[in-house]
Amino acid sequence: MSNKTVRQLAEVVKIPLERLLEQLKEAGLSASAPDDVINEDEKMQLLAHLRKRHGKDEGAAEGSLKRVTLKRRTVSELKQASVPGSTTKTISVEIRKQKTYIKRSEVTESDEQRNLELAKQAVKGQVAPQTESFPTAEEPVKAQETVLEQKKEAAVAPEATPAVEEQVTAEPEVEHIASQPIETLSPSLAVEEEAEVSPVLDLEAETDYESLVKAKESTEARKKQHEKDLRLEESIKRNAEKVRQQASAKQEILHRKKQEESSRAGAGGRDTKKAKKKGKKTERVNVKPEGKHQFEMPVEPIIKEVTIPEMIIVSDLAQKMSVKAATVIKHLMKLGIMATINQSIDQETAVILVEEMGHKAIMQSDDDLEQEMLAEAQADDDNRVELPRAPIVTIMGHVDHGKTSLLDYIRKTRVAAGEAGGITQHIGAYQVKTDHGSVTFLDTPGHAAFTAMRARGADVTDVVIVVVAADDGVMPQTKEAVEHARAANVPIIVAINKIDKPDANPDKVMQELSNINVLAEEWGGDVQFLRISAKTGEGIDDLIEALIVQTEILELKAPVEGAASGIVIESRLDKGRGVVATVLIQKGTLESGQMVLCGHEYGRVRAMFNENGVSIKEAGPCAPVEILGLSGTPNAGDEFLVVQNERIAKDLAKHREDRKKLSRHAVQQASKLDEVFSRMTTGEIASVNLVLKTDVQGSLEALRSSLVGLSNDEVEVKVVFGGVGGINEGDANLALASGAILMGFNVRADATARKLIEEKGIDLHYYSIIYEAIDEVKKAISGMLAPEIKEQIVGLAEVRDVFKSPKFGAVAGCMVVDGYVKRNLPIRVLRNNVVIFEGQLESLRRFKDDANEVKMGMECGIGVKNYNDVQPGDQIEVFERIEVKREL
Ligand SMILES: Nc1nc2c(ncn2[C@@H]2O[C@H](COP(=O)(O)OP(=O)(O)OP(=O)(O)O)[C@@H](O)[C@H]2O)c(=O)[nH]1
């Protein structure tokens, strides 16, 4: 606030000196010369005079002045050397600034609201660029906006200035102005505070000083508003801080809890540590808000009801009793059982253990558990209306007799003609529509597949077509097919094929079949015989007719309504589509999108296709369909059913998987020879089923008739299948499916059959004397099986080469492939799994030394006493005779 001379004032307010002198004179001030000094009071006096002269008092000014526009014009010069060394270029830049201030009262309520919002956003750090704001020096946003305005208005002088330079010049200018002390910008007038944003006033238009005062007032009002906003902002911040504090308090509690747990783990011994290492869940501790444990030590022992399935893993049992596995193992040791944490123990042992530990054991059979779960899974099944259904047919026969050709012919003519699109892919089953109804064919030709399915518990086939070539007659596999179909109690239809061939002799076929008790209707029997040609199609319609007739006799029925169930025919993993399973629906209707369980796999049916690859939404009984969406590939023969929800499907699948792991031998335990009598006496069985394999046809017939002759009033001895040759997988499957005992007379099981026999626990007996076999079965059915000497095979060696030795004769260079070979034990020589010699070892050598025993994986030289016909490829079986105590 300094005094100024009249000249200085005229310069500052930019009006001619004379005019100012005149105005001073009019106002009655003493200053009359340019160098006279004017003080603050005189300035105010001049101001009052000017107001009066324009007839404006304060009130009027207040009413009228609502908007003030401040302008500033600056001209500056920029020096620029474009290239180093060249002459410097001077650029003039003129910048005009304009700012409009709106009186506070004009600000509408909505503007205030928006301001409030802005304040809130500022707290959150989300201020959006504004297009309008107030001249509050504190707002950094404002300065930035001013720059934007300047940029818009900057008028570039004749020497065109690049936009970049313009910006460079304009920006610091504003910052500079904003930070300058107010006084230096407006030294002479009482509007200093405004000057921070409006440095130079254009008084030429005699802008009213009063309005500037008003502007000052409105700025104060805005400031107040701003303060209010700031207070709001503060309160928002405080709230945010509160929330933060609460969160960190929570964090603190969690942290403390963890620390407590880890300190307890440190003191709790090895078990807890181990459990942690393995990533097992440790017991959850509830912490009260004050950080206290909720757990209270039980005051008396808790007696639990422990359900025990047929087999249970030690760790699971421990968990059920809420004790450590080590405790269970300790108790098991007391019972004389050494078991590890992952081993399973049987139900009886588990019950004793549970009772011993003071709990109550509830025995639960796996079947009960599964039935319970299934009952929960399936809707009420009993009250559904059953309607006639199509027969399910399997085609069997000897190699090259025309099974595939017959299937192909039916498929091509029937399916392709009836359905648009024709055959697009292979599917394990397909349905043929006829005038009298439909027929479903299982495209798994051969009795091996048929029996393998049965062995897995899937008796799907209603009728078997046995194909016999008219030019070839009944062959070994024809007989096998007949026997397999009979073992399954399935009616047979005989198709005499290739009747178009000149050398066809259907009568011969009929004759041969009658020899194995397959008698044609026209010969007084009960089997339909049809003459067909899979090549020309002759008689095939009649064959289908015959099938329909057979269906009528069988009165096949199935419910159409309700949840579907059936059998898995085959499954595969498709690269593009995932698991593809072909299922045959036996009951109910399967709909796309339903949850299904197949063996130990499950999933929602994502898509469904019929045998022609056409997408369908639902399928009824006897329809074969491909379904997508299962969790894995189920086995052929697995049962499939629709369940209510995924949880049940998952539980059942897991239960089945566990059961499979635990009880591998459960399936066939019921068919042991030494259990025959006890099962007979309990009324469980009334027949002894046998599968016989012999070295020659003669011994087969002799054995068969002798064994069947053992039947009496109480029990029937049935040979479900008899054949010549080594025991193969099909024989093992048949024994499994028909609950039969396998008997090998001078024959052995091949590797695959051995694996299956071992896996399923099938009872297999080898004999080399017919009398022995008969005697054993006789004793079994009369309950007289006494302790006796049993043979146990201890090793098997394969003959790789044969050398002639002057001392020992033929010496077989062998590799021991199983068990061990011992010098003093008896041996047998096998060729193609048939026994060709039984005797003793003459010599056993490793390199040039005599050996007493040679183990699996080692080579040795074997000389067989009194036998010189050993050949490469033969097998030498070493066995010992041990005494077995029988328990009936
Ligand atoms: N002339 C004539 N040839 C036939 C007839 N049926 C089949 N064949 C021929 O017999 C041969 C064997 O037929 P397949 O259908 O492959 O016999 P398969 O029983 O399925 O044979 P495998 O699958 O090996 O067990 C093929 O060359 C067929 O063309 C027929 O009715 N007449």
> Is there a binding annotation on residue 446?
yes
| Both tokens assigned to 738 | 């028909």
CA of 403 relative to ligand 1 center, distance in Å: 7
Q: Which of the pair, 138 or 40, is modelled with greater confidence? A: 40
Predicted confidence at residue 113, as pLDDT, reads 55
Same structural domain for residues 777 and 879?
no
Residue with tokens 């589509």: 577
Phi, psi of 77 (to 5 degrees): -125, 145
* Pocket of ligand 1 from Cβ distances under 6 Å: 397, 399-405, 445, 497-498, 500-501, 533-535
Domain boundary at 518, 537, 555, which?
555
Task: Give the 3-state secondary structure of residue 132.
Answer: coil
Predicted confidence at residue 833, as pLDDT, reads 87
Cα–Cα distance for residue pair 843/830, rounded to 1 Å: 18
Same structural domain for residues 705 and 730?
yes
| Both tokens assigned to 429 | 């089953």
Task: Give the 3-state secondary structure of residue 92.
Answer: strand
Stretch 510-520: mean pLDDT, rounded?
90
> Is there a binding annotation on residue 447?
yes
pLDDT at 124 over 70: no
pLDDT at 814 over 90: yes
Percentage of the chain beyond pLDDT 90 is 10
Same structural domain for residues 334 and 404?
no
> Is there a binding annotation on residue 397?
yes
Beta strands in 121-253 (DSSP E): 155-156
Same structural domain for residues 747 and 780?
yes
Task: Give the 3-state secondary structure of residue 507.
Answer: helix
DSSP string, 620-641: -TT-EEEEE--SS-PPTT-EEE
pLDDT at 381 over 80: no
Residue to mutate (ligand 1; options 395, 404, 405; most atoms within 8 A of CB): 405
Closest CA to 822 of 801, 841, 803: 841
The highest-confidence range among 81-90, 101-110, 270-279, 868-877, by mean pLDDT, is 868-877
Predicted confidence at residue 29, as pLDDT, reads 83
Predicted confidence at residue 561, as pLDDT, reads 85
Phi, psi of 88 (to 5 degrees): -80, 140
The contacts of residue 431 (CB under 8 Å, 6+ apart) are 390, 415, 438, 439, 440, 441, 611, 622, 623, 624
Stretch 406-410: mean pLDDT, rounded?
85
Domain boundary at 37, 54, 71, which?
54
Nearest-Å Rg of the Cα atoms of the chain is 52
Instruction: DSSP letter for 688, please.
Output: E
Q: Which of the pair, 331 or 678, is modelled with greater confidence? A: 331
Would you say 265 and 320 are in contact if contact means Cβ atoms under 8 Å apart? Answer: no
Residue to mutate (ligand 1; options 395, 400, 441; most atoms within 8 A of CB): 400
99 within a domain of the structure (yes/no): no
How many independent structural domains does the chain possess?
6
Cα–Cα distance for residue pair 728/448, rounded to 1 Å: 10
Average pLDDT value for the chain = 74
CA of 413 relative to ligand 1 center, distance in Å: 17
Stretch 497-502: mean pLDDT, rounded?
93
Predicted confidence at residue 148, as pLDDT, reads 41
Closest CA to 92 of 119, 73, 107, 118: 73
- CA 320 to each of CA 18, 299, 360: distance values in angstroms, whole numbers, following the listed order: 111, 20, 11
Same structural domain for residues 793 and 876?
yes
274 within a domain of the structure (yes/no): no
Same structural domain for residues 664 and 703?
no
CA of 405 relative to ligand 1 center, distance in Å: 5
439 within a domain of the structure (yes/no): yes
> What is the per-residue pLDDT across 553-607, written as a single tens digit (0 to 9) for each?
888 888 888 888 888 888 888 888 888 888 999 888 999 999 888 888 889 999 9
Q: Exposed, middle or buried by CB within 10 Å (0-12, 13-18, 19+), for 255?
A: exposed
Instruction: DSSP letter for 522, please.
Output: G
| Both tokens assigned to 278 | 């393995």
- CA 443 to each of CA 106, 407, 634: distance values in angstroms, whole numbers, following the listed order: 91, 8, 18
Predicted confidence at residue 161, as pLDDT, reads 40
- Strands 841-846 and 859-864, bridge-based pairing: antiparallel
CA of 622 relative to ligand 1 center, distance in Å: 27
Closest CA to 707 of 722, 697, 685, 696: 722
> Is there a binding annotation on residue 402?
yes
Q: Which of the pair, 191 or 500, is modelled with greater confidence? A: 500
DSSP string, 342-396: T-EEEHHHHHHHHHHTT-EEEE--HHHHHHHHHHHHSPP-TTPPEEE---EEEEE
CA of 4 relative to ligand 1 center, distance in Å: 128
Closest CA to 861 of 796, 826, 810, 794: 810
Predicted confidence at residue 144, as pLDDT, reads 44
Q: How confident is the model at residue 277 (pLDDT cuts 50, 70, 90)?
A: very low
The contacts of residue 836 (CB under 8 Å, 6+ apart) are 829, 830, 869, 874
> Is there a binding annotation on residue 498?
yes
414 within a domain of the structure (yes/no): yes
Cα–Cα distance for residue pair 471/475, rounded to 1 Å: 11
Instruction: DSSP letter for 461, please.
Output: -
CATH of the domain at 626: 2.40.30.10
DSSP string, 275-342: HHHTTPPPPP--B-TTS-B-----SSPPPPEEEE-SEEEHHHHHHHHTS-HHHHHHHHHHTT----TT
Domain boundary at 677, 701, 723, which?
677
Of the ranges 142-146, 225-229, 318-322, 351-355, which one carries the lowest mean pLDDT score? 142-146
Percentage of the chain beyond pLDDT 70 is 66
Same structural domain for residues 672 and 696?
no
Same structural domain for residues 872 and 762?
no
DSSP string, 796-830: EEEEEEEEEETTTEEEEEEEEEEEEEETTS-EEEE
Predicted confidence at residue 375, as pLDDT, reads 67
> Is there a binding annotation on residue 574?
no
848 within a domain of the structure (yes/no): yes
Q: How confident is the model at residue 875 (pLDDT cuts 50, 70, 90)?
A: very high
Predicted confidence at residue 81, as pLDDT, reads 54
Predicted confidence at residue 467, as pLDDT, reads 92
Predicted confidence at residue 79, as pLDDT, reads 67
Cα–Cα distance for residue pair 309/328, rounded to 1 Å: 17
Residue to mutate (ligand 1; options 404, 509, 538; most atoms within 8 A of CB): 404
Same structural domain for residues 752 and 844?
no
Predicted confidence at residue 340, as pLDDT, reads 82
Q: Which of the pair, 595 or 421, is modelled with greater confidence? A: 595
Would you say 807 and 860 are in contact if contact means Cβ atoms under 8 Å apart? Answer: no
> What is the per-residue pLDDT across 691-750, written as a single tens digit (0 to 9) for each?
999 888 778 888 888 888 888 777 788 888 888 888 998 889 888 888 888 999 989 998
Q: Which of the pair, 77 or 34, is modelled with greater confidence? A: 34
> What is the per-residue pLDDT across 49-68, written as a single tens digit (0 to 9) for each?
877 776 544 444 444 455 56
Residue with CA nearest ligand 1 atom 32: 498
CATH of the domain at 735: 3.40.50.10050
Q: How confident is the model at residue 470 (pLDDT cuts 50, 70, 90)?
A: very high
Q: Report which residue type is found at 814.
A: C
Phi, psi of 352 (to 5 degrees): -60, -45
Closest CA to 667 of 567, 763, 601, 565: 763
Predicted confidence at residue 799, as pLDDT, reads 93
How many residues would you count in the chain?
A: 888
CATH of the domain at 534: 3.40.50.300
Predicted confidence at residue 547, as pLDDT, reads 87
CB atoms within 10 A of CB 291: 11
> Is there a binding annotation on residue 49?
no
| Both tokens assigned to 788 | 């006796």
Same structural domain for residues 530 and 416?
yes
> Is there a binding annotation on residue 426?
no
Cα–Cα distance for residue pair 611/431, rounded to 1 Å: 8
Q: Report which residue type is found at 608.
A: M
Predicted confidence at residue 276, as pLDDT, reads 43
Report yes or no on whether pTM surpasses 0.80. no
Q: How confident is the model at residue 494 (pLDDT cuts 50, 70, 90)?
A: very high
Same structural domain for residues 526 and 577?
no
Residue 23, domain extent: 4-54
CA of 404 relative to ligand 1 center, distance in Å: 7
pLDDT at 885 over 70: no
Residue with CA nearest ligand 1 atom 7: 402
Residue with CA nearest ligand 1 atom 13: 402
Give the 3-state secondary structure percentages of the chain, helix then strand then coil, rounded to 5.
Answer: 40, 25, 35
ipTM of the complex: 0.97
Q: How confident is the model at residue 451 (pLDDT cuts 50, 70, 90)?
A: confident
229 within a domain of the structure (yes/no): no
End-to-end alpha carbon distance in the chain: 128
- Strands 607-609 and 624-628, bridge-based pairing: antiparallel
CA of 497 relative to ligand 1 center, distance in Å: 9
Q: Which of the pair, 86 or 816, is modelled with greater confidence? A: 816
**Which atom of ligand 1 is nearest to 532's Cα?**
31
Cα–Cα distance for residue pair 6/421, rounded to 1 Å: 109
Stretch 801-807: mean pLDDT, rounded?
82
> What is the per-residue pLDDT across 775-785, written as a single tens digit (0 to 9) for each?
888 887 776 55
243 within a domain of the structure (yes/no): no
CA of 693 relative to ligand 1 center, distance in Å: 29
- CA 363 to each of CA 308, 348, 352: distance values in angstroms, whole numbers, following the listed order: 5, 9, 11
Predicted confidence at residue 712, as pLDDT, reads 78
Residue with tokens 């009952």: 375
The highest-confidence range among 46-55, 403-412, 795-804, by mean pLDDT, is 795-804
Same structural domain for residues 542 and 432?
yes
90 within a domain of the structure (yes/no): no
> What is the per-residue pLDDT across 225-247, written as a single tens digit (0 to 9) for each?
777 777 777 776 776 677 677 66
Q: Which of the pair, 158 or 571, is modelled with greater confidence? A: 571
> What is the per-residue pLDDT across 196-211, written as a single tens digit (0 to 9) for each?
333 334 444 444 455 5
